[in-house]
Structure 1
Amino acid sequence: MENKLWIVTELFFPEETSTAYIMTEVSAHIAQNADVHVICGPSSYQKSNIVSNAAFANESVTIHRVKALPLNKDKLLQRSLRMLLLSVQLSFKLLAKSRKGDRVLIVTNPAPIVLLVSLISRLKGLKCFTIVHDVFPENLVAARLMSSGSLGYKILKWIFNKAYSKMSVLFVLGRDMKEVFEKKLSSYRKKPAIYVVENWADTTGIFPMGKNENRIVQQLGVTDKIVFQFAGNLGRVQGLMELCNVIKQIRNPLVHFMFIGEGAVKQEMKDFVAVHHLRNVSMLDSFSRNQQREFLNAGDVGIVSLQEGMAGLGVPSKSYNILAAGKPILFIGDRESEIARMIDEHDVGWCYDLKDTRSLLEFFNNLSPEDVLYLKDKGEKARSLAVTKYTREIILDKYLKMTTSEN
């Protein structure tokens, strides 16, 4: 009997989070060449409007769901308890159903999955592949939830490094993340192979469209502005309050900012905008994934930002769909980050350090109507890059080949 590939993920179709979307697409693609079984949580985290995702209707994908307690994900204690309990449930189902020689593919959130599946893989002789979306516990330090000098952090880091060292293969999202793991695992004699597999762009569903006919642009009355758009999680590791302080100092009437999404600092941002009477900022609620073509084309430039200390700890997946929409990227963060490197190598945007307020202000204040053609040129390069290097088929084929290869 053919060995199975078990995919263990808390979030899966019909959820609409990026992790759910990615793991659903990966499952469907690998199912072309493998007997794929998905162990996942209940479909209640976030209702989805996705109608094009194929995995749920793919007969080669068998889904095993576990139940979850009705805990409030918006309350930290209940969310943490839910994460821990779900990790245990998902792992025990893998333990019960897998057999020696099977393969297992996991994603690094929730974090306890890494420890539990690493142990189960050793006990049952499974080959374990890990997609690294978040580097734990380093991301706790970047989010300022833990000190790098604390005993708790050092213990967590040792435990997780040990678990990572026992994996067969690590799929990381960028070169900066690969460098982080090479350093993390340098003291281990036996360690996993590490491959860079970037997120992909939806080059079929998302493509450049004229801004002047865009419904969002018309409603906001910004057809004559250069619109910088941030769409995604308005969280603490994005450095958004620092960006708001820069926006407050901009004196160029041509520049407008559009923030789309939800997150921990959204209310703080709204309060800041109100207190400082910032007429060059629009705060919008989240759109569904199948509305990406519309809202991404409401901007002229896509903003991708990361807090200081986030280099190598995460690669914002939204970057690739910004490219697909034919928009240049303004990256604000560490110049060694994967997105910054990509921008520099392919001339598809600009990079600034979050602390370099002066240079960032000069960039915004010096923009003129004549720069619209300059933006368009970079946008055309962005679209070309998306369709030549980051299509869904190119990236998913990497997962397919590496998880089904006999090597």
Structure 2
Amino acid sequence: MHRYYWPDTPPYAAMLRRIVASWRDVGHHVEVLSSQPSYKGELDIAKRPRRDDIDGVSVTRLSLPAEAGRPLTRVVNAIRLGGAVIWRAMTRRPDVIMISTAPPVLGGAAAALAAKLTGARFIYHCMDIHPEVGKVSGEFAHPVVYGVLSRLDNWSCRRADPVVVLSRDMEKTLRQRRGGERLSIEVLNNFSLPAEKVLPDELPFEWSDETFRVLFAGNIGRFQGLDSVVEAMGLLKGRDDIEFVLMGEGVAKEALQRKASEFGARVRFLGHQPVEIAKAAMQRADAGFVSLAAGVYRYAYPSKTMTYLEQGCPLIVAVEPESELASDVVAGGYGHTVPVDDSKALAELLMRLADDRSEAAGMRGRASEKAKDTFSEDVVLKQWVELLQSSEVERE
């Protein structure tokens, strides 16, 4: 179960489609409970049948209103979706129930309760660690709210077999919770965001290879720490040969646009683009930018990383050096790291890379190899099949 499912546009909606198909391909009967497309209202995705069929998999879609900027609606939707999970589990009696962290905490608790009531195995796919990441964003900052949600999510995690997280840093966070040493945890990272169409030969916007161009493609939100990008480009406003492209939408976009205008920063905002356009731009970019606000690496892992690597795009990573992400980039030789929120260091790195592009070819090759060996669909989906079937072996 997940709040959003293909053809809705969150990255996980497309990735879950691939996971579900991999389970179907090895002979499992899989059903999906989700909602009508509503993640980005401006995209106006056509309504799907309530009883949908995608890739030969039955998908039941609830009619839930859009949530952007509507916290109360988000809570009501979570309760409705959670109730539907419990009812469906009681009537369908599945062997396995899996849910991700959308909706956060409440969805996991509903799925854990449904599994407890029916004797099903519960897989908890934590794309983010909540409520910790919500405390950073301010969403769950109230101490009473945070305390209640922490206890509720701990209860869910204790019943999971396993909790699936994206990094060792996220596993460490769960281990540090009360009783965390007894949790069943599997580290299984994502694969590149699937593209439904062939990548185009031409981009629908200006893109000159003469300009040193860094691309950020993804959600322009609270956790990305993109203020330092605008500040760094403000320091480089005299360098017409360097440009930063922010591709996507999010709650921080308007503020960043105003700040870029104030600073005279050469930052271009492209808005949301189809996956195939984003991937084609990654192939042409001199670097892909991955960033997290201070401390967030403990609770999340930017899945855009795999998509950059798949396209052979070297990385610039703004995250703490002790993080798994930064350590892997340095050890693998497919990118550079800069301190979090250090606009001066970022500006200096961009100048150096623009003045000397000799490292690029080697980094592109190593990025592609990393994607193929670690983050390809074949590799990751095989791990998902093995994870699902592991309990079957144990129960025989």
TM-score, normalised to structure 2, is 0.88
Aligned equivalents of 1:45 and 1:105: distance in 2? 21
135-144 or 84-93, larger mean C-alpha shift = 84-93
- Give the counterpart of 1:386 among 371, 382, 395: 371
**Alpha-carbon distance, 1:365 to partner:** 2.8
Q: State whether structure 2 residue 138 is matched by structure 1 residue 144.
A: yes
For residue 288 of structure 2, what is the aligned residue in structure 1? 302
Between the two proteins, what is the percent identity of the paired residues? 19
Contact 1:222 1:256 in 2 (8 A): no
- Give the counterpart of 1:30 among 23, 32, 35: 23
Unaligned 5+ residue runs, structure 2? 47-51
For residue 261 of structure 2, what is the aligned residue in structure 1? 274
For residue 116 of structure 1, what is the aligned residue in structure 2? 110
- Give the counterpart of 1:404 among 389, 392, 396: 389
Q: Deviations over 1:288-329 (max 9, x none)?
A: 123233222241100000001202211111111101111111
Alignment of 1:79-228 (within 5 A): 79-99=73-93, 102-111=95-104, 112-147=106-141, 150-185=143-178, 187=179, 191-201=182-192, 214-215=202-203, 219-220=205-206, 222-228=208-214
Aligned equivalents of 2:197 and 2:37: distance in 1? 26
Contact 2:228 2:343 in 1 (8 A): no
SS in structure 1 of the partner of residue 138 of structure 2:
coil
Q: State whether structure 2 residue 345 is matched by structure 1 residue 349.
A: no
SS in structure 1 of the partner of residue 358 of structure 2:
helix
For residue 3 of structure 1, what is the aligned residue in structure 2? none
Contact 2:14 2:194 in 1 (8 A): no
For residue 49 of structure 2, what is the aligned residue in structure 1? none
- Give the counterpart of 1:9 among 2, 27, 30: 2
Alignment of 1:320-359 (within 5 A): 320-359=306-345
- Note closer, same or farther for the CA distance 1:92–1:243 as it changes in structure 2 (3 Å cut): same
Show structure 1 runs of 4+ deviating over 4 A: 46-49, 202-209
Aligned equivalents of 1:257 and 1:331: distance in 2? 14
Aligned equivalents of 1:88 and 1:231: distance in 2? 31
130-139 or 360-369, larger mean C-alpha shift = 360-369
- Give the counterpart of 1:73 among 29, 53, 67: 67
- Note closer, same or farther for the CA distance 1:89–1:122 as it changes in structure 2 (3 Å cut): closer
**Alpha-carbon distance, 1:214 to partner:** 4.7
Contact 1:343 1:350 in 2 (8 A): yes
For residue 249 of structure 2, what is the aligned residue in structure 1? 262
Unaligned 5+ residue runs, structure 1? 1-7, 50-54
For residue 4 of structure 1, what is the aligned residue in structure 2? none
Taking only aligned residues, the RMSD between alpha carbons, in angstroms, comes to 2.6
Aligned equivalents of 1:400 and 1:43: distance in 2? 27
With a CA cutoff of 8 Å and minimum separation of 6, indicate the structure with the bigger relative contact order: 1
Give aligned pairs, total.
Answer: 381
- The one-letter amino acid paired with 1:40 is S
For residue 363 of structure 1, what is the aligned residue in structure 2? 349
- The one-letter amino acid paired with 2:361 is K
SS in structure 2 of the partner of residue 35 of structure 1:
coil
